[in-house]
Chain A
Amino acid sequence: MILLQLLINGLVTGCALGVVAISFSLVYSTIKIFHVAHAGVYTLAGYIAWSLSTRGVPSLLAFAGAIAFCALVGAGIQQFLYRQLERRRASHLVVLIASLGMLAVIQNLIAGIYTPNILQFQIGWSQTTLRVAGVLLSYTQLLTVAMGIAAYLGMMFFAHRTALGKRIRAVASNPFLADITRLEPKRVYVIVIAIASAVVALPGVLVPLDFGLQPYSGVNALLTATIAMIAGGIGSISGAFFLAIGIAVVQNLSLLVIPGEWSIGVTFFIFVIFMLFRPTGLFTAR
């Protein structure tokens, strides 16, 4: 029974991480920036939602507020940081360092305002549990799975069926050509990062309902997500999403034999295996 419970927990965590992975992958494959500050945006979402809901805002509205705020922050990072750096012809390394600086700024602003300690985040319904076939499931977990699947399907539909999605893919595959055909890559970049930040805010508000809020927890989530993105094949939405679920399941099942504080080791081990034997990932985009 414990096996089944761990499997379910892994699936739930995986759905949340999968959404982090597809949003990161969207930025990485379009703007080609290793957007480390994404971890900060992810953490920020939970804190904004917490602030709003403790001030009496209804939970759905609080979530929407957090998502909108994150989209704005993301767009701001692109407009006032990455774009300025690009205008100065900054190297890839410089952009990475600036992004890391941004991550430090966001995380420590949060730690300064809300204290570095763990904060419990609960809403009326969030701890209600159901028992299905002997497995304990909270509403939060059910909602996380539903959100994960919806975000994955939504992203697939958006990328392949809508005009904006096609435009983004065009910019991603050839920014120069996109520029001369008036697809305006610079505007697309702002839109992409805003969308990615809004999407990452979804797990950003749901995961803390289960695990609480911590200012520095985003890095761990982002690390697993980037590993999933690489293992799934860069550029592949499905690859990133399903590998994130796979990694989270393995991580949870490993709890049977390895204590929880070493789970980072398990994740990293998976990455090393991929790096050695299949560095291009499982579902490489053509």
Chain B
Amino acid sequence: MDFWYTYIVLAEIYVLLGLSTNLLVGIVGIFSVSQAAVFGVGAYIVAAATMNDTLSFVPALLIASACGLALNVLVTLPSLRVSGDYFVVTSFGIQLLATAIFTNWTEGTGGANGLPGIPPPDIFGLAVTETRQFLVLSSVLLSLGCLAFWLAMRAPYGRLLRAIREDELAVAAAGKNILFAKVSAAALAGAFAGSAGGLYGSFLSFVDPSSFDLDASILLLTMVVVGGARTLTGSIIGPFVLLALPQLLALVDIPTTIAAASRQLIYGVLLIAFMLFRPQGLAGEKL
């Protein structure tokens, strides 16, 4: 039973992350491969803060999400001012830079060995130690995330973001501030990714750079693409499907040395196939 709980909790964390990616890539149409970096920053912040008893879980999570927000604003503001392709370069750069920091800043992040022994979260004195209890916590946070996403998309703000993707020039001509809308969407995405990271670290009680590298960003993009861009359903389906994939692969006899490569290969094939034949994903709208 615990196996299923673990699967669901992880999938829920990735749904939260998927919502953030979907907001950026699906709704506003900004290509990003640095979401895993923001996710990682959130995870490391919560890990560092709760391990030394500097902070308890709730404020640490809030700080993680604020840092995710700030990071995304810092990254998008200068590049989106110029053009979308500049942001492609920026996001590749941030992702590689973040991996370098996670791997090489040994005092802060434990380097390639990672940080073990992150304490389980406690919510105002209530310790969440069992997977079952964690499932409740992640479900609550996910529901909040979904609600926020849904409300934001119903609001005029959501329509503005969709309109920007359809026709940026028309929106600008209507007197809307495009840069502000894009940067604020990125900020929201950053806050989601940061808090998802904090949840991830304290659930696994261990973080290492391999969960937050370029491959992880590609996995995230695959989740959004397979599930379907721009819809809540799509963001939920994607992670559940993609996280089941490694379990299925474990049934096939693949040497462990190339297991990671074959997983990533499948993500690549999925990205290409969906872009060619079904750009709306399983349950989304046309990208």
Contact = CB atoms under 8 A, between A and B. Distances in A.
B86 A275 contact: yes
A85 B88 contact: no
Contacts of A90: 275, 279
B261 A111 contact: yes
Given A85-B275, A98-B272, A265-B97, A275 B79 contact: yes
A272 B261 CA distance: 32
A264 B86 CA distance: 17
Interface string A229-273: 010000000000000000000000000000101101101100110
Nearest to B85: A34
Contacts of A276: 78
A25 to B, nearest CB: 12
B268 interface: yes
Contacts of B89: 223, 226-227, 230, 271
A258 to B, nearest CB: 11
Interface string A26-50: 0000000010100000000000000
Contact of B265 (A112, A227, A271): A112
Nearest to B264: A108
Nearest to A109: B265
Contacts of A178: none
A264 B214 CA distance: 14
Interface string A92-117: 11111110111111011101100110
Contact of A94 (B78, B97, B275): B275
Interface string B66-102: 0000000000001101101110111011101100100
B279 A108 contact: no
A181 interface: no
B97 A268 contact: yes
A219 interface: yes
A268 B93 CA distance: 6
Interface residues of B, number: 44
A97 B258 contact: no
Interface in B249-287: 257-258, 260-262, 264-265, 267-272, 275-276, 279, 287
Contacts of B257: 115-116
A195 to B, nearest CB: 21
A220 B225 CA distance: 25
B143 to A, nearest CB: 29
B141 interface: no
A108 B100 contact: no
A279 interface: yes
B104 interface: yes
A101 B271 contact: yes
A102 B270 CA distance: 10
A128 interface: no
A279 B103 CA distance: 31
Contact of B104 (A100, A109, A227, A261): A261
Contact of B100 (A111, A264, A272): A264
A92 B257 CA distance: 35
Nearest to B258: A112
A84 interface: yes
B78 A275 contact: yes
Q: Most A CB atoms within 10 A — which of B93, B104, B269, B270?
A: B93
B25 interface: yes
B78 A104 contact: no
B35 to A, nearest CB: 13
B185 interface: no
B206 interface: no
A94 B79 CA distance: 20
B38 interface: no
A230 B97 CA distance: 19
Interface in B94-117: 94, 96-97, 100, 103-104
Given A111-B261, A112-B262, A116-B261, A96 B86 contact: no
Given A92-B84, A111-B261, 12 more contacts: A85-B276, A94-B279, A104-B215, A116-B257, A116-B260, A226-B89, A230-B89, A261-B100, A268-B93, A271-B93, A276-B78, A279-B81
10 contacts: A84-B276, A91-B29, A93-B25, A95-B275, A97-B225, A219-B214, A223-B89, A227-B93, A267-B93, A275-B90
The 6 closest A-B pairs by CB, nearest first: A101-B271, A104-B268, A111-B261, A105-B268, A108-B265, A98-B275
Interface of B: 25, 29, 31, 33, 78-79, 81-82, 84-86, 88-90, 92-94, 96-97, 100, 103-104, 214-215, 218, 221, 225, 257-258, 260-262, 264-265, 267-272, 275-276, 279, 287
